[in-house]
Structure 1
C-alpha cells in the first residue's frame, strides 16, 4: 500500500490579492481544543465575535456574524435571503466580481439590470444614481474593492440615494474589510459581505456579514411557512405571503436564530474556524482600525514607488486604485506566467495574474493583512527585478528597492 508522507507545505511569501499569509497567532488559535457548539464558553466566543464584527464593519447593527463557508457563501446567503423572485436588481459591473453578483442574483430569480464600465476604472456615483432613478430597482448590488482590476468604487453618495428612495444597498466588501475603511452605517449600506482570507489574514472558510433592521424585516418576512407546521418548541410558524427563501443552509432567518439568544440549532458551527476568526478580529482591533488602514497605505506607497522606479507601467486609473492591490502591466513580449513561475520556484514568492480580458496582460500584487509588511515588499521588489532582468528586461538593478526604502525612511523621519 502507498505510504503517504507527513504534511509539510512549502513556506511562501504570498503577495496575491488573496489568500494571504496568516498571522501565527491565528494559526495557534486554530489548534485549540474543541468545545461543543452550545457550551457556554463557546457561545461566549460567538458573542465576542459578533461584538468585534460590529466594530470592524463600523456599525450599530444587531446582526453581525460569519456564514460558514468561503466568501462566496456570504454573498449567496445575503442575496438568497434578500432577493425575491421577479424583483429588479441593479448590478454596476467594473470587473470580474460584479459579474459574479449578476450571476447569483439571476439564479435567485431577480430581473437583473447591469451597467458596465470598462475595466480599469470605476463609476462616477452620479452614473449609478441616474440608473437607480430611471430603473427603480428593489436592490443595488455592488463590489467595493474589485481585485480583478485593482480598483475601488466610491459608495457614500450611492448609499445616500438608495436610502432616500427605499432601495436596498448591498455591498461586497470581501477584498476591503480590514484593509481600508468600510463605513456601513455612514454610507447607508443595508447589507455587507466580508471575507477572512484577505485583509483579515484568517484562512478562507468564513464570510463575515452584517445587515441592518431594514434588511432584517425583509428576511424575516420571507421565512418558509406552511399551515399546520410547528417549530421544534411547538409554536406555530408565522404565516407569510412572500416567496419563501429557497436555501436552507443560506437562510439568514435561520442563521440569526442560531446566532441570537435563542440558539436554535441550524448546523454545527465551525469551531476551529471561529477560534481563528475571533483571534484575527482581536488582532485587527488591537492594532487599531485607523492604524491598520495607514499601514496598508504605507506599504502600498513603497511598492508603487518601487514598481515605478523599475520603469514598469501600472495598470488602471490611479484616482480609484484599490490600496491593497497593485496591478502592473506586463511588458510587451514578456511571458507573464514564466515570471510568476520563477518568482514562486526560485524565490518562494507568489503573485497573481488576472481574469477575462486582463488574463496575460497584468500582474496583480496584494499587500493585505499579515502579508502587508516591509520585509515582504522589499523581498518582492528585489526578486521581481532579478527575474525581469533574467527574462531580458532592461532596467536598473536595485532601483525599485531603493525607491521603496526612500518611502520607509521618509516615514521614519516624519515620526
Structure 2
C-alpha cells in the first residue's frame, strides 16, 4: 500500500498581491467545531458577519454577505444576476482584470462597450463620466485596484453620472477592501465585490459582496420571472431568469435572510475565518489600518529607490498595497524570484500580459504588511540582485526603510 508523508508546507514570507499570509487568529478560528448551517448559533454568526461586512464596506446596505468561492465567484454572482442579454455594459480597462469583467459580461450576453487606458495609468474620472453620458449603459463595471499594474482608480463623480442615466455601478474591490478606503455609500457604488485572500488576510474561498436597493430591484424583477409571473406588466416578459442557480443573488439573499432558504450548504470553517478576519480589521480600525498600509508602502518604496530600482506606473495613481518594480535590463526575473524563494523563503510576484517579464510585483497586504516583512524582502532582494551581478547601491535600502519607520523620511 502506498504511503504519504505528513502534510508540512514550508513557512514562507508571502509578499505577493495575493494570496497573503493569514493571521494566526484566523487559522485558529478555522479549527473550531463544525456547526449545522441552520443551528441558531451558526445563523447568529452569519448575522454578525453581515453586520461587520457593512462596516468594512462602509455602507448601510441591507445586503452584505459572502459568496462561497474565490473572488471571481463574487464578481460572477453580481454580474450574472443583473446582466440581461442585450444590456449595454461599459467597462473601463486599465489592466488585466478589466478584461476579466468584459469576458464575464459577454458570457452573460451583454453588449459590451470598452474604454482602454495604457497599463500603468488610470482614467481621469471625467473621461468615464463622459462615456457614461454618451453611451447610457445599463451597467458600468470597473476595477478599483488593479494588482496587475499597481494602480488605483479614483471615482470622483462617476457614481453621480451613473445615477443621472440610471446605470448600475459595479466595482471590483477585491484587492482594496480592508487595505485601501472603499467608501461604498459615499461614492454611490451600487454593488461592490471584495476578496478574502488579500487585505483581509483570510484564506481564499469566499468573496464578500454588498449591493443596494437599486441592484436588489433588478434582482427581484428577474426573480419574478423565474416564478412564472409573466403577466405583471408589459416589460416583464422581456426579462430572462438568471442563468446560474449557484450564483443567483435572488436565492442567495433568501439564504442570508431570516427565510433561511436551503440554497446550499454553507462553508462553515470559511465563515469562521471571514468573521474572525473582519473582527480583526474592525478591532484595528479602518483608518488606522489604511494608514498602516501606507506606512509600510512608504518604507518599501524608499528602500527600493535607495537601492537604485525603478518603480513602474504613474506614481500619482499608485495602489498603496501593491508596488511594481521594473526588472533591470539583462536580469532574468524568474531566476531572481526563484532565489528569493529558495534561499530566503520569500515569494514575490511576476506579471502577465504586456508586462510579462518586465516587472516584479510586491504586495504589502493585511497580515503580510509589517515591518519585519518589508525589511526582510528589501535585504533579500538586495543580496539576490548583487548575486546576479546587478549594479545596485548596496547597503542603502534597509537604512532608507528604517528612516521611514523612525519618522526621519517623508512617506510617499
Q: What TM bracket, shorter-length normalisation?
A: over 0.9
1:373 to 355, 370, 373: 370
Structure 2 counterpart SS, 1:156 = coil
1:259 to 241, 256, 259: 256
Q: 1:227 to 1:74 in 2, by over 3 A?
A: closer
Query: Is 1:156–1:186's contact at 8 Å kept on the other side of the alignment?
Result: no
TM-score scaled by length of structure 1: 0.96
Cα distance in 2 for residues equivalent to 1:245 and 1:341: 45
**1:388 counterpart = 2:385:** yes
Paired positions, count: 405
Cα distance in 2 for residues equivalent to 1:218 and 1:89: 15
**1:294 counterpart = 2:291:** yes
Cα distance in 2 for residues equivalent to 1:324 and 1:361: 19
Deviation at 1:240, TM superposition (A): 4.9
Cα distance in 2 for residues equivalent to 1:263 and 1:227: 22
Aligned to 1:406: 403
Over residues 247-304 of structure 1, what are the superposed CA-to-partner deviations in whole Å (9 max), with x where a residue is unaligned?
0000000000000011111000000000000000000000000000000000000000
What is the aligned-residue RMSD (CA, Å)? 1.6
* Equivalence map 1:322-361=2 (5 Å): 322-361=319-358
TM-score scaled by length of structure 2: 0.96
**1:154 counterpart = 2:154:** yes
Cα distance in 2 for residues equivalent to 1:61 and 1:365: 33
Gaps of 5+ in 1: 230-238
**1:25 counterpart = 2:22:** no
Cα distance in 1 for residues equivalent to 2:10 and 2:236: 54
Over residues 147-205 of structure 1, what are the superposed CA-to-partner deviations in whole Å (9 max), with x where a residue is unaligned?
00000000132112112221100000000000010000000000000000000000000
Q: 1:227 to 1:104 in 2, by over 3 A?
A: closer
Q: 1:413 to 1:363 in 2, by over 3 A?
A: closer
Deviation at 1:412, TM superposition (A): 11
Cα distance in 1 for residues equivalent to 2:312 and 2:64: 35
Aligned to 1:118: 118
Aligned to 1:234: none
Aligned to 1:43: 43
* Equivalence map 1:69-148=2 (5 Å): 69-148=69-148
Structure 2 counterpart SS, 1:222 = helix
Aligned to 1:307: 304
Cα distance in 1 for residues equivalent to 2:123 and 2:159: 14
Cα distance in 2 for residues equivalent to 1:34 and 1:411: 50
Gaps of 5+ in 2: none
Q: 1:392 to 1:246 in 2, by over 3 A?
A: same
Cα distance in 2 for residues equivalent to 1:305 and 1:132: 39
Over residues 369-405 of structure 1, what are the superposed CA-to-partner deviations in whole Å (9 max), with x where a residue is unaligned?
0000000000000000000000001123221010000
* Equivalence map 1:162-177=2 (5 Å): 162-177=162-177
**1:217 counterpart = 2:217:** yes
Aligned to 1:198: 198
Query: Is 2:404–2:410's contact at 8 Å kept on the other side of the alignment?
Result: no
Cα distance in 2 for residues equivalent to 1:227 and 1:400: 66
